[in-house]
Amino acid sequence: MNRKPRILGIGIATMDIYRHQKRMYPGGNEYNVAYNAALQGIDAGFMGIFADDAAGRILEKTLADAGIDTSHSHHEKGSSGYALVDLRDGDRIFLDWNRQGVTDLYPFTFTEEEIAYIKTFDVACISWGARVGADKIRKLSGAGIEVCYDFYDNFTQEDIENISPYIKYAFFSCSHIDEEETRGILEECVRLGARIAVGTRGGEPAVAYDGARYYSQDICKVTAIDTMGAGDSYISAFLSNYLSAEADEPLSAEDKITISLKKAAEFAAEVVVKDGSLGVGYDVDPENLSKIINI
């Protein structure tokens, strides 16, 4: 391989606060993608909005300690994003969250200098929650940037139509629909322009489609401690392995996807036995959040 693949997360940095543990865990969709990419030996970066509170400083330092480039993140006055979380049988339950954090108030516009920076990466990962709409994704695509987009589980037909033409990789959370409907969504996404579309389905096998064939990958069964960040870890591992396969020995397109789906399932199984999204946590008093977050 000539060089390591490079993956950039653009979007959410948040603090997941577990009241029952009195612990807080850094996370957020693209934050998790970047962190997990670095764990897998990928050159990773994160572009987000960090608040001028203690939580914001912790969020950025956690990435810096992992060797992740945050040089093009913004720093704004305001509140870090946070979620109050409880766990029930390993599944996360969101009790409350900040609806007006700095990511909501100061979304990226993507300057020429920022676009030049993003182009140094092989892929830019963005999600529905990153406050980066279809118009901005179109702008990035027009600049020659390959985009991976996480549609979450609340995707609409309009989302699929407006975003699919401008992305290379698409991920959908499809545990609420059956396999036939999942296949239909993936097929439409690829028909509209995406190169590869993947639907994760909770405890059921994931499905992928590349315009030529469908793929299926069983989950790796483990006793989950915490499912927070499982989908993000899956995306990170799929991309890390897919991009590495492209840079290494020549493999068929089918083999690249098959291997990447398997590695993604294995890595996600490692993540769900950790506390929080990343297994990195800090003590906190949930009754005194104003000490760490500008509320």
Compute CA distances 131 → 2, 49, 91, whole Å: 34, 11, 25
The torsion region of residue 25 among left (phi > 0), alpha (psi -120 to 50) and beta comes to beta
Q: Give start and end residues of each alpha helix (H) in the chain.
A: 29-39, 54-65, 102-105, 112-118, 134-142, 157-163, 179-192, 230-247, 253-271
Helix, strand and coil content of the chain, in percent to the nearest 5, comes to: 40, 25, 35
Q: What is the pLDDT of residues 222-269, one digit of tens each?
A: 988 888 888 999 999 999 999 998 776 678 889 999 999 999 999 999
pTM of the model: 0.94
* Residue 1 pLDDT exceeds 70: no
- For residues 11 and 140, is the Cβ–Cβ distance under 8 A? no
Q: What is the pLDDT of residues 90-138, one digit of tens each?
A: 666 777 777 789 999 999 999 999 999 999 999 999 998 899 999 999 9
Q: What is the mean pLDDT of the chain?
A: 93
> Token pair of 238, please?
């799929």
